[in-house]
Amino acid sequence: MTDFLSLLRNARDRRESLFGRKETDCFRLFNAGRDGFDGFTLDLYGEYLLAQIFYDEAWEHERPIRAALEEFAAKLGTDIRGLLLKDRRKAPDPGDPARHESMPVAGNPPPREYSVVQNGTRCIVNLVSGQNTGLFLDMREVRERLQQYCPDMHHVLNLFSYTGIFSVHALRHGARSAVNVDLSRPALARARNNYEANGLSVDERDFICGDSFKWIKAFTRKGRRFSMVFFDPPTFSRNRGSVFSVKKHYPGYLETLGRIAEGGYALTAINAEFLPEEEYVRYHPRSWENVFLAHESQDFLPGASPYLKTGLWRVHS
């Protein structure tokens, strides 16, 4: 029988250095198979713990997992106000709005808009409903490495911007302006909330609801130029008949991005374990200069084949 409490304690010991930091109060505490049990993750968000179970095989252990989590939370070494469990298995009815509603395990549930801090940037997360919380924890170290370059990022274009954290982080560290493009109106509303939570002014013109691929072409036609472009598209997407695949379309869009970021920077990312880093690098134009390559943060315990490939590039024609 799996000793979940021991696995949790060992995982916590590996991340001892992350506790007690004023600039960051959210990170991964247990990362599935890399910490000893596939299909289960545990994240710390301020004073709350969010556990997630992804597979039927892991869900069979729900009761011992719950019991271990309650004991673990009581002796974590930091104040915990609530413990939540989210069922991330595929729902039989994908249209059910409650399919990813978190279940309270212990303590009190957080408000649906709960504030955490990562790298000194405040982010409003939702730990109760929805598939994602509003903050991708695995990008923490990438954002940290970007800080020194932010003063050179005068005008930022954040494609597939989600809740706008890359824009907020850049603006807090020296960027002058940022344009956020995303298909989701709710995500853009959350981005505005993140601006306000960090004391940044909100200009509605900086939040564009639309297809990022189409806006790349629109900015090119208009001759718009940006000193920094964030490009982190989904590995595969379909929108109104148009299809995007990383393997087929990523290099072509990078060529187009080069026209609107000439002389500036591009931060590009691919979230796909099946795609090797060498191939990700080859997707970029030969004239582009790599500044750094990065992967998921250390609390995710990157293996020999990290799933996240991220790079900062200096864009040259």
Average pLDDT of the residues of the chain: 93
* Whether residues 50 and 84 fall in one domain: yes
Asked if residue 248 belongs to a domain, the reply is: yes
CA distance 138 to 135: 9
Q: What is the CATH number of the domain that holds 113?
A: 3.30.750.80
Asked if residue 130 belongs to a domain, the reply is: no
Q: What's the pLDDT tens digit per position in 175-220?
A: 999 999 999 999 999 999 999 999 999 999 999 999 999 999 999 9
- pLDDT score at 14: 97
CA distance 60 to 39: 11
* Whether residues 85 and 205 fall in one domain: no
* Phi and psi, residue 95, nearest 5°: -85, -5
| Residue range(s) defining the domain that contains residue 166 | 137-314
Q: What's the pLDDT tens digit per position in 101-126?
A: 999 999 999 999 999 999 999 999 99
* Number of domains making up the chain: 2
Q: What's the pLDDT tens digit per position in 208-253?
A: 999 999 999 999 999 999 999 999 998 765 655 566 677 888 999 9
- Predicted structure pTM score: 0.93
User: What single-letter amino acid sits at 140?
Assistant: R
CA distance 109 to 287: 51
Domain final residue, candidates 95, 125, 155: 125
pLDDT band at residue 71, thresholds of 50, 70 and 90? very high
* Whether residues 115 and 146 fall in one domain: no
Check if the beta carbon of residue 123 is closer than 8 Å to that of residue 194: yes
Asked if residue 131 belongs to a domain, the reply is: no
Q: What's the pLDDT tens digit per position in 245-292?
A: 778 889 999 999 999 999 999 999 999 888 999 999 999 999 999 999
